Structure 1
Amino acid sequence: MSPRRVRAECDGVGRQDRPLRFTVDGEPVDGIEGQTIAGALLAAGRLAWRQGRSGAPRGVFCGIGVCFDCLVTVGEERDVRACRRRARDGDVVTTQSRCPDPGGANRRHPAPPAEEDG
């Protein structure tokens, strides 16, 4: 599987792609209508977007929605398989992790220290 898009001047089919833009963890990602979130991330050069329990980077493994390695949060919906969900213009995607998170679901920064009662 190649993460690169076919350039318009090299496309023998003559597709008329409609561009779209969504964000992943606040960073813009460009894609084309009909492309999956995983496909757009791969085309943008991002091969991994979460960590497994061991801390190893994870992205697309099977690419057909069987393995659950590509999970992301889209809007308020957690556990979305990026390889199955088509990207939509304006989507707000956040990455997920399988690492234990004692401070709250999907927190990206450490929790502030607790205040001590005097």
Structure 2
Amino acid sequence: MRIEEHPILEFKRGKKVKFTFNGKEMEGYEGETIAAALHAAGVKVLGKSLFKHRPRGFYCAIGNCSSCNMVVDGEPNVRTCITELKNGMCIETQQGKGVINYETR
């Protein structure tokens, strides 16, 4: 699901890095966003709507809509569509409005 070649845009990837998503080890590229790495790995549902719990995916990609909010390294409400992936990140699906887990900080 990752675009490898494009007739106009040039893709310069960083080095391959490992991260975990809901406890599962995955790989992506340094410098791409978390949401892009998850999408390329086949993850289409990034969370659920607050009230009706409907699945939410990669939507605006500019940090406005909150459909991609996740818990990253224990920090809730991280906009994964604008946050760059780094080696060793621990990414989790956020439940509801997000609660800070002080045990992991």
TM-based fold match above 0.5: yes
1:50 to 47, 50, 68: 47
CA RMSD of aligned residues (A): 2.4
Gaps of 5+ in 2: 101-105
Gaps of 5+ in 1: 8-12, 100-104, 107-118
Query: In structure 2, how many angstroms separate the alpha carbons of the residues matched to 1:42 and 1:69?
Result: 14
* 3-state DSSP of counterpart to 2:31: coil
Query: In structure 2, how many angstroms separate the alpha carbons of the residues matched to 1:37 and 1:16?
Result: 14
The number of aligned residues is 95
Give me the identity figure in percent: 33
When residues 14 and 92 of structure 1 are mapped into structure 2, their CA distance, relative to the original with a 3 A threshold, is closer
CA drift at 1:29:
1.8
Q: 2:85: which partner in 1?
A: 87
When residues 63 and 26 of structure 1 are mapped into structure 2, their CA distance, relative to the original with a 3 A threshold, is same
CA drift at 1:14:
8.2
TM-score scaled to structure 2, two decimals?
Answer: 0.78
1:25 to 17, 22, 29: 22
